[in-house]
Homo-oligomer: A and B are copies of this chain.
């Protein structure tokens, strides 16, 4: 990789530009006698104060090795058989959830006596020894970049959070793992690592937050070369904030919660809030085409990025301009967005920032049924007056939401009262087995928010929707970050489950929701699942031409000889059903290895050929060999 040549070319161009600018300040004759020198910017270095970082190098210090999230936070059934959520990090932490047990046992036919506990700790002898490229390690040592081949470090970066990955970990089964982990501190470190990997034919797998649910992080079992996990978590500074252009230049290893917290300190935000934001990274968002809860205001990742820098085996790719929108051939940012770690490592990104909104208000609306709710969301989208976030859950999720209500606490009292209202069948004739709830979040100038709110509730009323208070809305969003912990609870008692999502035109939304949910139930039955599964969905995003739909499905696998196989078949059938009903392969989770088989159908042979041609040019030796996408 001829980075020195590229660097001097960039310097030549910078020098030329400086000369042109200087021409306006001085007479040309003076310039001809003066040397305009362009120096490489030395902003990145160890001397910069490291960003206070949520993620230590040794993730195991705070994260679970075989489940979601922080070690100190989990759902469990206590000795009284009550559900509680441990730890101190979340609003739900330390609270009892009195209805969860009944809901869990009733929904899944589960029994707290029937336990399927996880292997308590990593059995190092079950992990294949590292296959290190000695020459690579030698040269890596010389760079001073930290690395490790400890078993725990390797295991932590051998997986994402697909069900089958977590299930295997809980059974103490380990497949192919990275042989080493390396922690670059800045762009230049990544350049060195990629150069060495190319030189020694080592497979690199970029690792951001580790939250992939597309098998993107699974190490290809057929990979014979050394696999090095390139962990970006220590490369996480905000390099500069530009208040004039409302942009920030950020290292790609920064985690969502840190990015927002740091920008908030200056009165700004990106507003990008994917459900995974406690752990996922900026580089990961770029690589997967991430979407955030409040995209209606802030946009999805492709709307948020102004400039991207990526290190590839061919060299560094980056545009030379920070202009807001250009016509300079096909947009190469879109060759990077969605490349899922197959082309290189995203190191730095310029993102748009916004002033932190003055005012925030939650809300909720109850609809008599799902169709009315969808029709309302469609009308809101048509009038282009969607709040920052508007999400419609189906009746099953509404019931599920009850199960998660905590015992009395000041925050939740009015909420409990409000919920009781819903449960009364006489409530304006709403059938509790049909009704659905939409949760809303408004942000902005207070006056505008209140106007906006009125407009949305007026539309809702046309579809039989009734405002159901701020608390219910707030609770809905608050649960966002704890939902993922529930699966680990289920897995203690023979219940496995997964979420998956799609985007679909408006006129197919209802059919798709109904058909996919029915298909899941039918497939589970056909494959011998003993108790009807939970099969539920919600509309989580609205667009001009369609919506994003998010499914949960979970079932009790007791009695099945090969539960994972049943699960994979059902999930496969669900995706076929989604595609048959006009839904996309994915709205935001991406393709990884889990959905590769549908790529030809999705973007056509010529589309696949285009992606392959780019891959073969950028990475002819498949250094970035995670085998995602193609």
Interface residues, chain A, CB within 8 Å of chain B? 6, 9, 13, 16-18, 20-21, 24, 242, 244-247, 288-291, 300, 302, 306, 312, 314-332, 334-340, 352, 382, 502-507, 515, 518, 543-548, 576-577, 579-591, 599, 601-607, 609-614, 616-618, 629-630
Interface residue from B507, B582, B602 paired with A328 (Cβ < 8 Å): B602
CA distance A16 to B576 in the complex (A): 9
CA distance A576 to B23 in the complex (A): 12
23 interchain pairs (CB within 8 A)? A6-B605, A20-B581, A242-B507, A289-B326, A289-B331, A314-B606, A317-B604, A317-B610, A319-B607, A321-B583, A322-B546, A326-B584, A327-B587, A328-B602, A329-B590, A329-B630, A330-B334, A331-B334, A352-B544, A610-B618, A613-B614, A613-B616, A614-B614
Q: Indicate if the CB atoms of B515 and A323 lie closer than 8 Å.
A: no
Give the shortest distance, in Å, between A624 (CB) and chain B (any CB): 13
CB nearest neighbor in B for A17: B580
Main SS at interface, chain A: mixed
CA distance A202 to B62 in the complex (A): 64
Known: A330-B339, A337-B331, A606-B317. A323 touches B584 (CB 8 A): yes
Q: Indicate if the CB atoms of B245 and A323 lie closer than 8 Å.
A: no
Q: Indicate if the CB atoms of B591 and A382 lie closer than 8 Å.
A: no
Interface residue from B327, B543, B584, B630 paired with A591 (Cβ < 8 Å): B327
Known: A242-B507, A326-B503. A617 touches B613 (CB 8 A): yes
CA distance A506 to B324 in the complex (A): 9
Contacts of A515 in B (CB 8 A): 21, 24
CA distance A16 to B597 in the complex (A): 15
Q: Indicate if the CB atoms of A327 and B545 lie closer than 8 Å.
A: no
CB nearest neighbor in B for A385: B448
Contacts of A580 in B (CB 8 A): 16-18, 20-21
Give the shortest distance, in Å, between A326 (CB) and chain B (any CB): 4
Q: Indicate if the CB atoms of A606 and B338 lie closer than 8 Å.
A: no
Q: Indicate if the CB atoms of B289 and A324 lie closer than 8 Å.
A: no
Give the shortest distance, in Å, between A155 (CB) and chain B (any CB): 27
Q: Indicate if the CB atoms of A319 and B617 lie closer than 8 Å.
A: no
CB nearest neighbor in B for A315: B606
Interface residue from B302, B545, B605, B614 paired with A322 (Cβ < 8 Å): B545
Contacts of A605 in B (CB 8 A): 6, 9, 314-315
Q: Indicate if the CB atoms of B614 and A610 lie closer than 8 Å.
A: yes
Which of A20, A545, A590, A605 has its CB near the most chain B CB atoms (within 10 A)? A545
Contacts of A326 in B (CB 8 A): 289, 503, 584-587
Q: Indicate if the CB atoms of A603 and B300 lie closer than 8 Å.
A: no
Q: Indicate if the CB atoms of A609 and B507 lie closer than 8 Å.
A: no
Give the shortest distance, in Å, between A13 (CB) and chain B (any CB): 5
| A-B contacts besides A244-B507, A317-B603, A326-B587, 19 pairs, CB < 8 Å | A20-B581, A21-B580, A245-B545, A245-B546, A246-B545, A290-B327, A315-B605, A318-B604, A320-B603, A322-B545, A326-B585, A327-B591, A328-B591, A330-B335, A330-B337, A332-B603, A332-B607, A352-B544, A609-B618
Interface residue from B314, B577, B587, B603 paired with A20 (Cβ < 8 Å): B577
Give the shortest distance, in Å, between A398 (CB) and chain B (any CB): 24
CB nearest neighbor in B for A1: B606
Contacts of A588 in B (CB 8 A): 327
Q: Indicate if the CB atoms of B614 and A325 lie closer than 8 Å.
A: no
Give the shortest distance, in Å, between A438 (CB) and chain B (any CB): 19
Q: Indicate if the CB atoms of B601 and A13 lie closer than 8 Å.
A: yes
Give the shortest distance, in Å, between A78 (CB) and chain B (any CB): 40
Interface residue from B317, B331, B338, B382 paired with A329 (Cβ < 8 Å): B338
CA distance A12 to B584 in the complex (A): 18
CA distance A507 to B288 in the complex (A): 31
Contacts of A604 in B (CB 8 A): 6, 315-320
Q: Indicate if the CB atoms of B317 and A503 lie closer than 8 Å.
A: no
Known: A322-B545, A327-B591, A334-B330. A610 touches B617 (CB 8 A): yes
